[in-house]
Structure 1
């Protein structure tokens, strides 16, 4: 019997009933077997209808994977790396697990920092020196 849930972490999991798998002929490795066996796996998951993941995680996932999500709201992943259907299925699940794990932890908030006083003073000092160098290149004025 297959797993009931796709476990991402201790807190996050997705019911396998939300995932749809399709099996098609692969263009990957396999020799003449490629023409006979449907070993490529295509995984489709309706992200918007997911009830098992927190809303903030789903938002970050949709933002990060917007190129993979269709207008109908399906996240699509396919694998034809292996000759074996089951290995390709696991590869799809691993990719999905990795995508979700990547966005599961919220991004760090940026703390504003000030430019150190010494850096500002150094920049102004260099600017003044540069201005003086350019000043010495000018033609002398007659009224001086």
Structure 2
């Protein structure tokens, strides 16, 4: 089991890993060794995630989520399979933890009487400044 929060944990069987060749520079090691890991996690079919977490996770995942509801993460920055696997799992856990975080609901507030008075005084002062810039009509 992979702990996510104190109440949520993922079963190892829910995560599918495939090893692929890394892209980019790296010489002969890149060409002959499949060190990059492609981690696949079925968000829609996971029995361990509550519905609201699944919804938020699908929004946060964006283009990493397939049409079938499978989250695909690729890790290839490390030189070994084990390090890339560890990095991919850490990224999955971080993404699910971010989906579990609920924002505090905003309570609308009203401006205080003092702030309204200060605002109106400022507007009056600004109007008086602009009034002073006007040229006086000539009596010709």
The answer on 1:82 being equivalent to 2:74 is no
2:116 to 120, 129, 136: 120
Q: Distance in 2 between matches of 1:133 and 1:140?
A: 15
Q: Distance in 1 between matches of 2:43 and 2:54?
A: 7
Q: Secondary structure at the match of 2:63?
A: coil
Q: Which residue of 2 is the match for residue 72 of structure 1?
A: 68
Identify if the C-alpha distance between structure 1 residues 10 and 70 changes in structure 2 by more than 3 Å, giving closer, same or farther.
same
Gapped regions of structure 1 (runs ≥ 5): none
Q: Distance in 2 between matches of 1:125 and 1:69?
A: 54
Q: Secondary structure at the match of 1:48?
A: coil
- Normalised by the length of structure 2, the TM-score is 0.88
Q: Which residue of 2 is the match for residue 133 of structure 1?
A: 129
8 A contact 1:28–1:82 mirrored in 2 = no
How far does residue 141 in structure 1 lie from its aligned partner after superposition? 6.0
Q: Which residue of 2 is the match for residue 14 of structure 1?
A: 10
Q: Distance in 1 between matches of 2:10 and 2:26?
A: 32
Report the count of equivalent residues. Answer: 138
2:59 to 38, 58, 63: 63
Q: Distance in 1 between matches of 2:45 and 2:63?
A: 18
Root-mean-square deviation over aligned CA pairs: 1.9
- Normalised by the length of structure 1, the TM-score is 0.85
The answer on 1:48 being equivalent to 2:44 is yes
